Structure 1
Amino acid sequence: MHAWDTFQAAGYSVDFVSPDGGAVPILDPYVSKDMEPRLKDGRIMDGLRNTAKPAQVDPARYRAVYYVGGSNAIYGVPEHPVLQNIAMHVYERNGGVISAVCHGTAGIVNLKLSNGQALVAGKRTTGFPEEHEDQGAAYFREFPFLIRKTVEARGGTFRALDGDQPYAEVDGRVVTGQNYASAKPVAEAVVEVLRKLADRQPGRGAAKN
């Protein structure tokens, strides 16, 4: 919600896509008191109840991609070829921004440039590091890969702080955040990058994310 609010306030439209399309689950225990009223906000809930399937997305319409957090981002997203194609079309052909927050960084570890190089290679990134996970828990043992380890294996630099404070990394048109508290700073950084790009390319329309 913090990212959505930031993009909306900056004048950008926001569309949602998920691997299977349709409604995405919202777990009540994770909805804070200050966010409960947003469950009745049709502007956001209509999008979450009707996410697009990847095949329905025209990547030419977008200027940025934002991968949300939550450990579900490790499943079904990183290896999805159509989601990968959307992201790289936005990044390479549209000159747009790739961004992610928390476990959402898992979604970008397999992205490749048209020359075959990993997107994260040579880039400074962050995300939710495995050392902050409950490594004795069943959920952790089911992870198909680890974010920090995979970023570094792809030639990227992974940075993270100890603690829960917000932390974001901006490396060119790749913007990543460490944890849920970083959602707003990441979105603000994306907006800043988009504005700088627009200044260099007059006449480009408003971005959609």
Structure 2
Amino acid sequence: MSARILIVVTNVDHYEADPSHPTGLWLSELTHAYDIFEKHGLEQKIVSPAGGKSPLEPRSLRFPNYDKSAKSWQGDPTRMALLDDTAGPEEIDSADYDAIYFTGGHAVMFDFPGSEGLQRITREIFEHGGVVGAVCHGYCGLLDTTLSDGSYLVAGRSLTGFSWREEVLAGVDKLVPFNVEERIKERGARYSKALLPFVSNAVVDGRIVTGQNPGSAKETATKVAALL
């Protein structure tokens, strides 16, 4: 029987600080992982904090982020339909899954942290011996997840994710609602980042796998698949 993985995407389509500034799912962070998981024979299901549609981040549809994998997905009506009707957390039985994988895009900063449903699923999968993965801003989904003993999932764990330096270089440091690099450290995580921004960097700590930025999606997904 194939291992099953739950992939998490956002429902948010704009920045709260500037509603005229669009955001959404960073498409290649989904497609690179989906391709790799499919290659390894994993069963996949897409979930979002509210269920329903997951909008795309416009900047992820431009070169160099809009690569063959992303183009293929956007050009496939069957795959795009998966983002029009994602499952909600209340529809998910965590016992059915061996891993959960959080995708990114700045939009996730607005709806991943406050989702008690996603926190429940993540805690249950991890405590049942499953794998927890996140790429880029996806680690926002791990910020407030606690274990059954009340401790933060990330406390004492080595991990990475989109850095504040990369926020500044991306020109969105005035739009994001918080500094996730600092906030994850406040939760007790041992955060690290690559020497250079935007290069692939993935960190494995037991059954927690995190990637720093969009360029880390393939490496992160490969390491998740290896654990499964």
TM-score tier (shorter): 0.7 to 0.9
Instruction: Give the counterpart of 1:147 among 180, 186, 206.
Output: 180
Structure 2 counterpart of 1:148, which letter? Answer: E
Structure 1 partner of 2:46: 16
Relative to the length of structure 1, the TM-score reads 0.85
The counterpart of 1:188, out of the listed 189, 214, 222, is 222
Map of 1:5 onto structure 2: 35
1:186 alignment partner, SS class: helix
Counterpart of 1:160 in structure 2 is 193
Deviation digits for residues 177-207 of structure 1 (CA, Å, limit 9, x no counterpart): 000011111111011111xxxxxxxxxxxxx
Q: Is the 8 A contact 1:135 1:141 kept in 2?
A: no
How far apart in 2 are the matches of 1:59 and 1:44? 23
Q: Deviations over 1:78-137 (max 9, x none)?
A: 1111110011111102x1011100011111111111111111111100000112212895
TM-score by length of 2: 0.79
Unaligned runs of 5+ in 2: 1-30
Identity %: 36
1:22 match: secondary structure: coil
RMSD of aligned Cα (Å): 1.8
For 2:197 and 2:174, the matched residues in 1 are separated by: 22
> Is contact 1:168–1:182 with CA below 8 Å preserved after alignment?
yes
- Give unpaired runs (5+ residues) of structure 1: 195-209
Q: Which has the higher helix share?
A: 1
- The secondary structure found in structure 2 opposite 1:46 is helix
Name the CA distance, whole Å, in 2 between partners of 1:169 and 1:112.
20
Distance 1:28 1:171 in 2: 32
Matched, 1:79 2:79: no
Give CA deviations for 1:33-68 in whole Å, capped at 9, x if unaligned.
523232232453232111001111111110111000
